[in-house]
A and B are shown apart, each in its own frame.
Chain A
């Protein structure tokens, strides 16, 4: 699986959009970009994934650059409950392994 690079931490104001960047310059053509988050002490939670097109669901939007070397997760209206560690993972679907790096610790402030 391709490695990813994320900033270690970021703050966001409640009600504002949170934009989380991820670099994955060595991504292969068949690898997808996945985002998970882990709220304190809980198991990780799937957020969204995509291959090359932008994706949106009820939780977030995923913007992938045309060259697929980087992506941005957007939380449109951050709430205090969005405070968590966010992991960007690149993998082939059903690959046996999810490689969790250090992620980005997002703190949403009132």
Chain B
């Protein structure tokens, strides 16, 4: 039981490049989330999903897109990366009470 895993762990992009962050969970959870965390700040919700094939916007969705084609996977895409998107990205999934978080992806946009 791996819990929540994230790929990649680190990435450096140039402004304007695109990339996809992958989140996978093996706990059969319906709900999945993408957060970002900037230095010294709490987590902010980017997008979330309440089930396969569904997605919704969170607090800071601009510049990101998501897809949930399979229940166990939640993808976060950056179509044209900007320096303001330099951050640590956390994925999470939840049962009724507890959110389980992945280890994070550290993204730097130059």
A residues engaging B (CB < 8 A)? Answer: 36, 41-46, 49, 87, 93-94, 96-98, 100-103
Contact = CB atoms under 8 A, between A and B. Distances in A.
Given A93-B96, A96-B56, A98-B99, A44 B90 contact: yes
A101 B90 CA distance: 16
B26 to A, nearest CB: 16
B106 to A, nearest CB: 8
A99 to B, nearest CB: 8
Contacts, number: 54
A44 B97 contact: no
Interface in B43-91: 43-45, 48, 50, 56, 58-59, 88, 90
Determine which residue in A100, A101, A102 has the highest number of CB atoms from chain B within 10 A of its CB, and name it. Answer: A100
B8 interface: no
Nearest to B104: A43
Q: How large is the interface on B (under 10, 10 to 19, 20 to 34, 35 or more residues)?
A: 20 to 34
A42 B42 contact: no
B13 to A, nearest CB: 20
Contacts of B56: 96
A43 B31 contact: no
Interface of B: 4, 31, 33, 35, 41-45, 48, 50, 56, 58-59, 88, 90, 92, 94, 96-104
A41 B43 contact: no
A43 B48 contact: no
A94 B104 contact: no
B98 A46 contact: yes
Contacts of B4: 43
B42 A41 contact: no
B31 A44 contact: no
A41 B106 CA distance: 10
Given A93-B97, A96-B31, A100-B43, A43 B92 contact: yes
Nearest to B44: A100
Given A41-B104, A42-B104, A43-B90, A97 B41 contact: no
